[in-house]
Structure 1
């Protein structure tokens, strides 16, 4: 039986993301000890503390729904390919930004159902701001005790593109050169999705490597705010848990679906 999407479930995940954020901030204010994983990506005690908080919270809240977390045990594709629904978690997205202490890191929790994100929360602990969305419930921006409905905007002139703070490559430069003149903003972690979702930006193209837990929560927030997330270069919907590798292809986050971005991107490709 599938877990039903509800306002109470979304509230619980928002609170869990905030709880995990508190564990991160406990460490953020102290000396940050950094180790490295096999792929040379950085790992801190904050990543692990957030993971433990989220894993325990989800196990209590939804004991029958499996969890796939960046900092959890790896699950063979032979096992997870049979999951119709599961939690996909990045306990601390933007570890490099955390180490730099620039505040641009997030907690990402998403519920995936039949390869699509149907509930997602992105919480930025250092900024005390969150973004949430659930299928059928819309999208919210959360700050302090306030929650406000959130929508993508009609494309601006000139458009505003989001570019990664830490990952910019030749493929992205080539793509940007073929797209219209634009203003650019930079930020770290899945906050890039949220800038499109809340109407601060119009497009976020990404050609560099990402993993599925990096994108799922922000992906859901964007879709619930009226935007879309498409693979590059074929512009088909970005999907999850369809292969052994957890690496995403390139993708683009589009705010205004009526602004002709698909046609421009196909021409650029």
Structure 2
């Protein structure tokens, strides 16, 4: 598959979903809750519908796994060599708290690796995308597009952490890194801040799912970074267990 040939269409789908999400974000929306007590809004569902429809128009042969989609059994998924992985809104808490730091995420996975990713931040009017081995890009709020790349670590180390999920285990790990400053960021933007050279490392000790990380992981890979487990293995996708293990995202200097 020629990723460059489909990337503009994927960006267009993400932008269409983002426009709808932002419209709902600026309204008096209602917050509901799933069985696991995680929040969901009309924006999650609208984004899901737009992305599903858009990706099927790009290719009807590639299956899709979405956080807001129907449960798909492992018996079916285990045969997928290539699939779309989407999170219609990552950071729904940021959405409901109106911090602006929520994202729309679309990734293409091949043989367990995120090879293409698009991340948009509708309220911030930012977008990131990348293709593994071919570079990563950012579109800023003025519409200007420029190439991005991870940077060498700064002194003190710039550590990006979750606003909503900073637990004691993560704090202990961060303290062990020595002199540092902590940068707060929501959703998959934490990966993107490393990809654009604004942060150095993001340790995550706590539950995430494959759709939370796939698109931004692809952007970070394309920008010269990586995401690995604490055992040193590459964070993989298309597993029977959709939950991710603990991981570290950083520029390649760390690994």
Q: TM-score range by the shorter chain?
A: over 0.9
Cα deviation 1:38-86 (Å, max 9, x = unaligned): 1110010000000000000001111110000000111001100100000
Distance (Å, rounded) in 2 between the aligned partners of 1:78 and 1:210: 22
SS of residue in 2 equivalent to 1:171:
helix
Q: Structure 1 residues 228 and 33, CA, compared in 2 at 3 Å: closer, same or farther?
A: same
How high is the TM-score relative to the length of structure 2? Answer: 0.97
Summarize the alignment of residues 74-153 of structure 1 with structure 2, pairs less than 5 Å apart: 74-143=71-140, 144-153=142-151
Distance (Å, rounded) in 1 between the aligned partners of 2:103 and 2:82: 23
- Offset of 1:11 from its aligned partner? 1.2
Cα deviation 1:74-99 (Å, max 9, x = unaligned): 10011001000000000011000000
Cα deviation 1:178-201 (Å, max 9, x = unaligned): 112101100100000000000000
Distance (Å, rounded) in 2 between the aligned partners of 1:152 and 1:251: 18
1:211 maps to which of 209, 212, 225: 209
- Offset of 1:229 from its aligned partner? 0.4
* Alignment length (residue pairs): 254
Distance (Å, rounded) in 2 between the aligned partners of 1:254 and 1:101: 27
How high is the TM-score relative to the length of structure 1? Answer: 0.92
1:182 maps to which of 175, 180, 193: 180
- Offset of 1:33 from its aligned partner? 0.6
SS of residue in 1 equivalent to 2:94:
helix
SS of residue in 2 equivalent to 1:201:
coil
Structure 1 unmatched runs, 5+:
263-269
- Offset of 1:242 from its aligned partner? 2.1
The answer to whether the aligner puts 1:250 opposite 2:246 as a matched pair is yes
